[in-house]
Chain A
Amino acid sequence: GENVEQHPSTLSVQEGDSAVIKCTYSDSASNYFPWYKQELGKGPQLIIDIRSNVGEKKDQRIAVTLNKTAKHFSLHITETQPEDSAVYFCAASEGNTPLVFGKGTRLSVIA
C-alpha cells in the first residue's frame, strides 16, 4: 500500500521568511495530493491540493509542487505570518483507496 514520508517534523522560521515542507510517496499510481492545516485545538482543514496532471498550483501565499518522476511533492509558504503556525499534513491517494497521511510538520513562525 501507499506510504507517505514527510519532512521535517518541526520547522521554525522568522516572520516574513518562506517555509518549505516536503513529502515523498511510494505508490506511483497515486494521483491526488492534498495538504491539511491543523490549528491548535481544531481539526485539520484542507488548504490546497494538486492532482497528477498538474506540476504546480498556487493560492495566494501558498503553493504546492509535484514531481511525479521522483514521487515527491512540496508545500511552499511565502511571507510567513504568525497565523501560519500550525501542524501541516500531506497526504496521497490513487483514487480507489482512502487517503494516506504523512506524520505531520509543526511549523512555528517567530515574530
Chain B
Amino acid sequence: EAQVTQNPRYLITVTGKKLTVTCSQNMNHEYMSWYRQDPGLGLRQIYYSMNVEVTDKGDVPEGYKVSRKEKRNFPLILESPSPNQTSLYFCASRDSGGPNEKLFFGSGTQLSVL
C-alpha cells in the first residue's frame, strides 16, 4: 500500500532535549516536505526536499533541521525543542512533476514540549 509513515504518533518531551521525528515513503517520490499545523494557522511548511541531498527552507524553518540521505526517508530534527514547537507535524511526499501534483500526507505526529 502506498503510504507515508511517520513515527512516533505522539511525543511528550522537555525543553532542550533533542528529538527526531522519522518519515518514510514507499512511493519512490522525489519530493518530501514537513508541515506544522496549529489552531487558527493552518498548515505551514517547515522544510522541503526536491531530491536526495537537496533541502530548502519553507516558511517556518527556525529551530528545525532536516536531512535527506536516502530517497525514502526525510527525518525532522529538533536540536533544542522549546514550548513554541508544541504542534501537530505532518510529513508529505509527491512525485517530481512539480507543486501541481498530489501531496500524500502521513498521519501526523503530535508533539508536546514541556
Q: Is B108 a contact partner of A99 (Cβ separation < 8 A)?
A: no
Residues on A with C-beta less than 8 A from B18 are none
Chain B interface residue count, Cβ-Cβ cutoff 8 angstroms: 21
Q: Are B105 and A43 in contact (CB under 8 A)?
A: yes
Q: A44-B43, A89-B43 are in contact. Are A99 and B99 (CB under 8 A)?
A: yes
B85 within 8 A of A: no
Q: What's the nearest-Cβ distance from chain A to residue B77, in Å? A: 20
Closest CB-CB distance, A30 to chain B, in whole Å? 10
* B42:A103 contact, CB within 8 angstroms: yes
> Is the beta-carbon distance between A95 and B105 smaller than 8 angstroms?
no
Contact of A43 among B98, B99, B108 (CB under 8 A): B108
User: What's the least CB distance linking B64 to chain A, in Å?
Assistant: 16
| B103 sits at the interface (CB 8 A) | yes
Residues in B neighbouring A9, C-beta threshold 8 A: 40
Q: Does B41 contact A (CB under 8 A)?
A: yes
Count of A interface residues, CB-CB < 8 Å? 25
B48 within 8 A of A: yes
Q: B-contacting residues of A (Cβ < 8 Å)? A: 6, 9, 31-32, 34, 36, 41-46, 49, 51, 89, 93, 95-99, 101-104
Known contacts A9-B40, A103-B42: A44-B105 contact under CB 8 Å: yes
Q: Is B17 an interface residue (CB 8 A)?
A: no
Q: Does any Cβ of A come within 8 Å of B112's Cβ?
A: no
Q: Can you spell out 30 A-B residue pairs with CB atoms less than 8 angstroms apart?
A: A9-B40, A32-B99, A32-B100, A36-B105, A42-B107, A42-B108, A43-B4, A43-B92, A43-B105, A43-B106, A43-B107, A44-B43, A44-B103, A44-B105, A51-B100, A89-B42, A93-B99, A93-B100, A95-B99, A96-B98, A96-B99, A97-B99, A98-B33, A98-B48, A98-B58, A98-B99, A101-B44, A102-B42, A103-B41, A104-B43
